[in-house]
Structure 1
Amino acid sequence: MAKLFMEAGVIALTAFISPYHADRERVRGMVEHGDFIEVYCDTALEICETRDIKGLYKKARAGEITEFTGISSPYEAPISPELTVNTGTTELEACVQQVIDEMMRRSIITTARFCKESSNQP
Structure 2
Amino acid sequence: MSSYAQQSVKEVMKKLQEYVDDINTNIENLATRGPVSKYVLQYEDLRGRLTLSFDEASAGVACNLDSRGFHVLCNATKEVVGHVKPYSITGLMATYHAKNEYCLLTDMYQGFDVIVRIISQLEQD
Name the structure with the higher helix share. Answer: 2
Higher relative contact order (CA 8 A, sep 6+): 1
Same fold by TM-score, threshold 0.5 exceeded? Answer: no
TM-score (normalizing by structure 2)? 0.27
